[in-house]
Amino acid sequence: MFKKYIVVLGLLSTALFAGVSLEHKIGQMLMVGFHGVSASKNSQICMDIRTYNLGAVILFDYNPVDKSKPKNISDKSQLKKLTSQLQACSSDGKLLIAVDQEGGRVQRLKSKYGFYGKFPKASDVIKMDQSKIKATYTKMSKELKSVGINYNLAPVVDLDINMKNHVIHGLGRSYGKDPKVVAKYASTFIDAMHHYGVLTSLKHFPGHGSSVGDTHKGYVDVTKMWKEVELEPYRLLKDKADTVMVAHVFNRKLDSKYPATLSAKTINGLLRSKLGYKGVVITDDLQMGAISKKYGLKNTLKLAINAGDDILLIGNQLDPRKVVTTKKLVDTIMILVREGRVNKKSIENSYRRVQKLKKKL
């Protein structure tokens, strides 16, 4: 009887998804950044959410075009209004609205905008007792929830194994060298977020802690320094993680041709098949130097989808001259499907995983 029930459920979900156009399934795979502190019905971002069934947006405070003005975040009431406007544009009211709110240097909700803004970095969190850590992260998730943020691109589970690493070690973004300890603190972080209905993302797979360079700026090869132990937090948290963010690091031991974000061997092979992770995979920003300097947009999208990435992040944050529209992204992927260069099945699988993730909201 139970087997019969599962089969019927499977058929129902297939029928349900069958009514969704390919264009709309592609839209659900996209997370884009945009300029604006409001999103009226006639704004470009609202029209994109409606027209293309856009799955996610990412918000930033720093404005790379005009430093004297905020990009998306100016104060509490403005942000709360913006997120409710964005949700009103979406057909399911489950638009993923993301920020990077780790603590330390990486927190978008700053005190100068009226937020708490003093959440500690991971390397300071580990000096606190467990109840204080829980209270800290509960306060963080409550604040995110209060302004309509439902997706936090954190916690960092990179191991602190390279003292010359500026991006992770230098900024104190790691909980330490021991994967079990890292997984424990990350687990506390995730529990606090879940308590207020905020989704999370483990980052940066398959490990950024051993690197020296910064993938924001360019190509980073971790082949000589990377250790297999860096995979351990992902294995320990694979059933708890809402999403996993993949880094742009190049590792010859895992793939001699492509960086992790664009590597089927790393995502579908290592993360999904070997480690057994079943959830959503999100890319780090595909406009970061490590990718944009080496691969064109069309090639990047082709490789990322075929590698098994479910959410493609285009932050429109790093270079004001290279803002990519949602229309361009959807049109390019549609062309890739028509040309037979992107597997339609990959899009179907990603759509299913994203819908399953949204059910948690």
- Over residues 41-91, the pLDDT tens digits come to 999 999 999 999 999 999 999 999 999 999 999 999 999 999 999 999 999
More confident residue, 277 or 210: 277
**Active site includes 204?**
no
Dmax of the chain from CA atoms? 64
Whether 7 is covered by a domain: the verdict is no
Q: How confident is the model over 156-204, as pLDDT tens digits?
A: 999 999 899 999 999 999 999 999 999 999 999 999 999 999 999 999 9
CATH number of residue 245's parent domain: 3.20.20.300
**Structural domains counted in the chain:** 1
In a domain, 14, yes or no: no
Give the chain's mean pLDDT: 94
The residues with which 99 forms a beta bridge, in sequence order, are: 152
pLDDT at 132 over 50: yes
Structural domain includes residue 174: yes
12 falls in which pLDDT band (50, 70, 90)?
Answer: very low
Residue 104: pLDDT over 70: yes
CA 331 to CA 161: how far, in whole Å? Answer: 42
Of the residues 158, 160, 255, 284, only one is catalytic, namely 284
Active site residue 284: yes
Share of the chain above pLDDT 70, in %: 94
81 with 73: CB under 8 angstroms? Answer: no
At residue 2, the pLDDT reads 43
Active-site residue, from 24, 216, 221, 331:
216
Structural domain boundaries, residue 139: 21-358
Sign, CA dihedral 309-312-313-314, equals: positive
